[in-house]
Amino acid sequence: MKKTFQTEIEIAAPAERVWTIMADVDRWHEWTPSIREVRRLGGAPLAVGARALIRQPGFPPALWTVTALVPGERFSWVSVVPGLRVTGHHSVVAMPDGCRATLGIEIEGLFGGLWARLTRAITERYIGYEAEGLKARSLDAAYRHGGLPGKR
């Protein structure tokens, strides 16, 4: 059984700006309370096969591995423990007046249904925090991004 949680948000900012903020996972803790820390392992840039350790309030630390990446558009990463596979999807699509960001989590595996039921409220709240935080950071004219890690 697979359970999906997803949200979309329209942002009146260029897709390139939103993507740059979204893909800079090391700084997520600056704009969403759902993340305490994201630490990319090995200093590798966001790329297929790159790994990151994520710490979130209310959850044990989780190791995530990037499984798909289309620069400027989307990436997915997966965290696996026995009986549970969680996939995070992040995408940005340009629109005439800005862009649409989509954030989602898929939970599956032997314990997927149980985990999805137990964590539904916090998962939905965290995805909402992330969407709103991404929008706020993207619209903050005072914020100047220095480029993606590994590309500065």
Mean pLDDT, consecutive 10-residue stretches, the chain (152 aa), reads 95 97 96 96 89 96 98 97 97 97 98 96 98 97 68 42
Structure tokens that stand for 108 in this block: 């599956």
Q: What pLDDT, on a 0 to 100 scale, did the predictor assign at position 146? A: 64
Top-level CATH class of 2-139? alpha beta
Question: What is the reported pTM?
Answer: 0.92
Write down the pLDDT at residue 151. Answer: 46
Burial of 118 (0-12, 13-18, 19+ CB in 10 A): exposed
Q: What does the domain layout of the chain look like in residue ranges?
A: 2-139
Residue 25 contacts by C-beta under 8 Å, 6 or more apart in sequence?
38, 40, 46, 52
pLDDT at 45: 83
| pLDDT value, residue 152 | 37
